Amino acid sequence: MKMIALGGTIGVGLFMGAKSTIGWTGPSVLLDYAIAGLFLYLIMRALGEMLYVHPVTGSFSQFASEYLHPVFGYLTAWSNVFQYIVVGISEVIAIGTYMQFWWPHLPTWLPGVIAIVFLCIANLVSVSAFGELEYWFALIKVVTIIAMILVGLVVIILGINGIGPTGISNIWHFGFFAHGVKGFFFALSIVIASYQGIELIGVTAGEAENPKETLVKAIQDTIGRILIFYIGAIFVILSIYPWNNISQIGSPFVETFSQVGITAAASIINFVVVTAALSGSNSGIYSASRMEFLLSEEGQLPKLFKKLNRHGVPYVSVISISAGILLGLALNVLLPLFFPSANQIFVYVYSSSVLPGMVPWFIILVSQLKFRKKHPEELVNHPFKMPLSPYTNYVTLFFLMVTLVFMFINSSTRIPLIIGIVFLAVMTILYFVKFNPKKNN
């Protein structure tokens, strides 16, 4: 469960996105990651409090239906499906691009198709096959980040290859807040997006052995490790290179390994980024297929979607999510042939997953407040309660709302935010037209 949560969160957003977030706000991006990490920890503690009592598959969707209203469970499930199909499309497209590093003439769509077929089969085999695959994907990423941090610390403290120790003065020497308070909050929305997927712990809880014990350890350890990997890696990069020069050095990860004479650094990082993309797609297929299974159980998708194979896997749901990603890959290849601006449209669609991706967080925080009112007896000897609730719930909800406000202010994220709002509005209308309990009665 720890590796699934790490695999779902530490991905191409760190390896490929570090340069972009640093460009938004400079070294103060370290504060962005720390603040976002603190609030994500509180969200996971709120989820953990409920899961400890009711460890169920697809937890936050079920909690939304039980403690708020079935429409919120519906929105949470479809937001999860939307988010991971879109993210999965972007990941398999990225795989094709990365493979051209070694084979420049390889069609970009071919590696993506192979990746989808491979991940679909892995998810169909069993839950343990998915978990094992995700474990190794995550391990590759974690080992790479730790290696880069250790190499960076050597450069910072001792110097290497004739280069003296850099120290850490670059963190503040060229300005800590690169573009003021506005830049800090603009970067915050991008940083928060990089944490999306951490709630996968809640999706896997019902299928884990000894869920209570496993859950507590997974939540306690995951946030700390993510903060170390993100903040540690970016701290090293910012210490070695002035933040205003990072845009000129290519990949900061490649350059850091190159400092110690690892000439194959580019190939190593490219391989790691491929595994990161595979990991993101793998997590997405698993999570979104479980949400389709729940929608089918609630009668909001045909019964076909909850059919299980002999391994206990909802195979129709897994195949449908994989097919959705494959369709997106095909559209990415075909649309630019007819609409030259289609690539820009795709960027907007990908970014539009940010708001739907935040829906489970809002649901978790509000559901936990309702959970406490409905089950006061469960809290008497509860060993894993949400710290300082309900005050921490309100502060975290406010933090998420502020982030969305700055997404709207920022012209680069305004359209994706609006797309996310439209998606949620359409799904809400669809629910009340087709599945409104009062209408059905």
Q: Are 97 and 108 in contact (CB under 8 A)?
A: yes
pLDDT (tens digit, 9 = 90+) per residue, 395-423? Answer: 999 999 999 998 898 887 888 889 889 99
State the pLDDT confidence band at 194, using cuts at 50, 70 and 90.
Answer: confident
Using CB atoms within 10 Å of the CB of residue 113, give its burial: 0 to 12 exposed, 13 to 18 middle, 19+ buried: middle
Query: What proportion of the chain, given as a percentage, has pLDDT over 90?
Result: 17
pLDDT (tens digit, 9 = 90+) per residue, 350-363? Answer: 677 788 889 889 99
DSSP-assigned states of every residue in 285-315 = HHHHHHHHHHHHHTTSS-GGGG---TTS--H
Q: What is the dihedral of CA 261, 262, 266, 272, to 10 degrees?
A: -140
The ranges assigned to domains in the chain are 2-435
pLDDT (tens digit, 9 = 90+) per residue, 290-338? Answer: 889 988 988 889 999 989 988 889 999 999 999 999 998 888 788 777 7
Question: Is pLDDT of 110 > 60?
Answer: yes
Q: What's the half-sphere exposure (Cβ side, CA atoms, 13 Å) at 69?
A: 10
Question: Is pLDDT of 7 > 70?
Answer: no
For 65, 134, 176, 415, the CA distances from 363, given in Å and listed in that order, are: 10, 26, 35, 24
Q: Are 240 and 170 in contact (CB under 8 A)?
A: yes
Superfamily (CATH H level) for 2-435 = Amino acid/polyamine transporter I (1.20.1740.10)
pLDDT (tens digit, 9 = 90+) per residue, 117-134? Answer: 999 998 898 777 777 887
pLDDT (tens digit, 9 = 90+) per residue, 64-105? Answer: 888 888 898 889 889 888 888 888 888 888 888 888 888 888
pLDDT of amino acid 441: 46
d(CA 219, CA 48): 7
